[in-house]
């Protein structure tokens, strides 16, 4: 663009901060507005596959990312009651050879903090805390963001990266349908030194069983074990990551599961639980000079490990669109057309894994072998993951709507 528009970003999470960095690296004036009084990410571990790592490296964050993350050697499938193990795929050196970038696991807060530092280094004071977004006003050439108890701010463009409960989405497109999945998730972080050696596995493990599954992998250079699981139950419908549970309640949700699973649960200092709510991916993300990004427009179930990565990809494509096209309207249209099909496929892929991970056939070890052989056959693994990992957000063509639907 001949003149660089001023950009206001609502939401200081991973998607909003990556967007800010992508724009700041290109010389744009960016301000980020976060409702929290301090930038402190809650949560636990994230898996950043090579497609996401590629973006972070392109933004000059490779050194910082690798200093706080862990490179698992591979991924395994294990059967809930017997512990039978099948290799899903290799990672480590093979990931770099195959995709050009590693597959890493990282504590959400570690990634969040390095993004904060990058924004502040590029534009001191660009992050504005204690700004609870209330509404947006637009005319032909300006967007004004209003906040509770704070002065409003006017920009050429606004990006709504305010998460799954997006106020921006609600204002522009309505709240949209949301449905309880009948699934409750648990999470916890375990100090690695508290685990016996046989549980300090340098791989990502996915235990599958009837009505639930369990995932664990090292984070923070291997100093912590991230432990996350889900179980089908309908008595808890609170969608909050910060509701504490008890270790006994956690055990009670996994009767008959392998002793290793129980041992991990016992070692969690404080488990948390939350209900999983499904929302269909939106097909329109742009309204005039405002665009949505990340969970605000394509919230996903956590069964494909791509939620954060999709937001990181969004940020990369958005930055490229502003660099490559002459008008704000064209840039936002290209961003939307390029991202909607891919994000939709990722959301649908995660939903499909619900039945795959929880299938009743896994109840009987005799049937489980045949089921795993069928569902995790090499060609099916390739079909589910290669299109994700090989995607290069830094160079894919930025298509228009007609090209995207052709």
Catalogue the active-site residues.
217
Q: DSSP of 90-125, one letter per residue?
A: E-THHHHHHHSS--EEEEHHHHHHHHHHHHHHHSTT
**CB 214 within 8 Å of CB 257:** yes
C-alpha 153/C-alpha 142 separation (Å) is 10
Q: Give the count of beta carbons closer than 10 Å to the beta carbon of residue 266.
A: 12
User: In Å, what is the CA distance from 296 to each residue of 9, 69, 300?
Assistant: 12, 26, 10
**CB 132 within 8 Å of CB 242:** no
Q: What b-and-e string marks burial along 129-144, b requiring 16 or more CB atoms within 10 Å of the CB?
A: eebbbeebeeeeeebe
C-alpha 374/C-alpha 389 separation (Å) is 22
Give 146-151 contacts, CB < 8 A, sequence gap 24+. Answer: 147/33
Number of alpha carbons in the 13 Å side-chain half-sphere of residue 42: 11
* Phi, psi (degrees; rounded to nearest 5) at 318: -65, -45
- The helix or strand, by DSSP H or E, that contains position 152, with its residue range, turns out to be strand 150-155
**CB 187 within 8 Å of CB 44:** yes
Contacts of 342 (CB under 8 A, 6+ apart): 310, 313, 391
């Amino acid at each position: 663009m001949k003149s660089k528009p001023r950009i206001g970003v609502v939401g200081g999470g991973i998607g909003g901060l990556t967007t800010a960095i992508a724009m700041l690296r290109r010389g744009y004036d960016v301000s980020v507005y976060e409702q929290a009084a301090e930038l402190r990410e809650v949560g636990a571990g994230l898996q950043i596959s090579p497609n996401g790592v590629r973006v972070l490296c392109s933004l000059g964050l490779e050194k910082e990312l690798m200093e706080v993350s862990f490179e698992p050697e591979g991924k395994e499938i294990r059967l809930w009651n017997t512990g039978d193990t099948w290799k899903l795929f290799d990672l480590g050196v093979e990931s770099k050879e195959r995709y050009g970038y590693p597959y890493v696991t990282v504590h959400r807060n570690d990634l969040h903090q390095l993004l904060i530092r990058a924004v502040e280094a590029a534009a001191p004071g660009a992050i504005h805390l204690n700004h609870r977004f209330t509404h947006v006003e637009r005319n032909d050439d300006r967007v004004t963001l209003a906040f509770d108890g704070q002065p409003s701010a006017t920009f050429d463009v606004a990006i709504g990266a305010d998460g799954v409960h997006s106020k921006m989405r609600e204002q522009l497109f309505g709240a949209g349908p949301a449905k309880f999945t009948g699934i409750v998730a648990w999470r916890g972080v375990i100090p690695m030194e508290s685990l016996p050696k046989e549980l300090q596995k340098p791989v990502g493990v996915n235990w599958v069983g009837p009505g639930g599954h369990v995932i664990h992998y090292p984070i923070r250079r291997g100093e912590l074990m991230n432990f996350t699981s889900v179980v089908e139950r309908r008595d808890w419908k609170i969608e909050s990551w910060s509701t504490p549970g008890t270790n006994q309640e956690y055990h009670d949700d996994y009767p008959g599961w392998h002793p290793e699973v129980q041992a991990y649960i016992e070692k969690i200092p404080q488990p948390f639980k939350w209900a999983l709510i499904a929302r269909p991916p939106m097909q329109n993300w742009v309204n005039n000079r405002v665009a949505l990004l990340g969970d605000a427009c394509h919230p996903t179930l956590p069964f494909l490990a791509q939620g954060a990565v999709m937001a990181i990809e969004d940020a990369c494509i958005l930055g490229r669109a502003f660099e490559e096209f002459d008008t704000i309207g064209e840039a936002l249209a290209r961003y939307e057309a390029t991202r909607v099909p891919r994000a939709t496929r990722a959301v649908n892929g995660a939903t499909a894994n619900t039945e795959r991970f929880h299938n009743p056939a896994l109840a009987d070890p005799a049937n489980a072998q045949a089921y795993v052989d069928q569902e995790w056959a090499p060609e099916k693994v390739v079909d589910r993951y290669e299109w994700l990992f090989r995607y290069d957000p830094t160079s894919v063509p930025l298509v228009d709507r007609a090209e995207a639907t052709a």
